[in-house]
């Protein structure tokens, strides 16, 4: 199994890196730190190379801030690493993650899956999503399909095929990375969700995406309603494209 764990961490966030390192070392899991892209340090040219405001507003109801752009590019770095190193899959973690002590067992279970997959979500956002179907993975976790993927990119498995698909649709950046992946049907992604969620939010929030005051960002409420309606229709239309769960392990 050609596999790695990547931890996305800003160079200045030493406390968060120490927090992640302590957990992973306790679980005897080797990892590689990925230097996060600090949005505030991006030049105007660098932003223009990866971001187009008209495309952004065509697909999302708010203009992205530099933190969201930097966060997306940090994940792009990880996806590129999966492809460049020809990994079978990787566990990608942000540095505000509290990890389940049975994470190593989960990694082993994922490595034995008999179906092809692209992306497996290990965390949840503000709302739990309805499960369509589920199987037990091991004594600790189950594997599920969901029409609507949870938000947050705190923790996920990404396969080689998934990394290629994500890279192919990443630029120009149009949505926050976690929202963009919820449009799995646009990218042709085969996605699963692990429960109970093995990656939870730590007591502190990551600084990777936390730049820019969202309250002062101009909102487009009519556009938001229309985009949400379109999303609801599209996920239901694409229900038949949900991946089939493997036989019970």
Residue ranges per structural domain of the chain: 3-241
Least confident of 27-36, 170-179, 196-205: 196-205
Closest among 124, 83, 88, 81 to 107, alpha carbons compared: 88
Q: Give the per-residue pLDDT at 220.
A: 79
- pLDDT score of 215 more than 60: no
For the entire predicted model, the pTM comes to 0.94
Residues 11-29, mean pLDDT to the nearest whole number: 97
Please name the residue ranges forming H helices in 114-241.
160-168, 177-182, 184-187, 221-237
Q: What percent of the chain is predicted at pLDDT more than 90? A: 85
Question: CA dist 16 to 69, 95, 124, 135, 202, Å?
Answer: 21, 6, 20, 34, 10
Domain 3-241 has CATH 3.90.550: yes
> What is the average pLDDT score of the chain?
94
Say if residue 58 is exposed, middle or buried (CB neighbours under 10 Å; 0-12, 13-18, 19+). exposed
Query: How big is the chain by its Cα radius of gyration, in Å?
Result: 18
Count the alpha carbons within 13 Å of 154 in the hemisphere toward its beta carbon: 23
For residues 164 and 131, the model is more confident at: 164
Tokens of residue 201, six digits: 């939010």
Cβ within 8 Å of residue 80, ≥6 positions away: 163, 167
Judged by DSSP in three states, 6 sits in strand
């Amino acid at each position: 199994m050609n596999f790695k764990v990547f931890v996305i961490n800003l160079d200045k966030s030493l406390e968060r890196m120490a927090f992640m390192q302590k957990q992973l070392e306790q679980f005897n899991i080797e990892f590689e730190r990925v230097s996060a892209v600090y949005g505030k340090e991006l030049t105007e040219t660098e932003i223009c190379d990866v971001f187009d405001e008209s495309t952004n507003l065509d697909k999302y109801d708010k203009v992205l801030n530099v933190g969201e752009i930097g966060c997306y590019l940090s994940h792009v770095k990880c996806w590129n690493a999966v492809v460049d190193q020809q990994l079978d899959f990787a566990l990608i973690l942000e540095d505000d993650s509290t990890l389940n002590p049975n994470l190593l067992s989960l990694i082993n279970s994922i490595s034995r899956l008999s179906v092809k997959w692209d992306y497996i979500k290990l965390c949840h956002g503000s709302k739990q999503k309805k499960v369509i179907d589920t199987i037990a993975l091991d004594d600790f976790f189950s594997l599920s399909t969901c029409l609507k993927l949870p938000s947050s990119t705190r923790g996920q498995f990404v396969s080689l095929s998934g990394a290629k698909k994500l890279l192919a649709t990443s630029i120009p950046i149009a949505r926050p990375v976690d929202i963009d992946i919820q449009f799995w049907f646009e990218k042709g992604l085969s996605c699963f969700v692990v429960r109970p969620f093995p990656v939870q939010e730590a007591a502190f929030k990551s600084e990777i995406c936390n730049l820019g005051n969202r309250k002062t960002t101009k909102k487009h409420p009519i556009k938001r309603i229309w985009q949400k309606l379109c999303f609801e229709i599209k996920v239901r239309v694409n229900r038949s494209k949900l991946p089939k769960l493997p036989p019970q392990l």
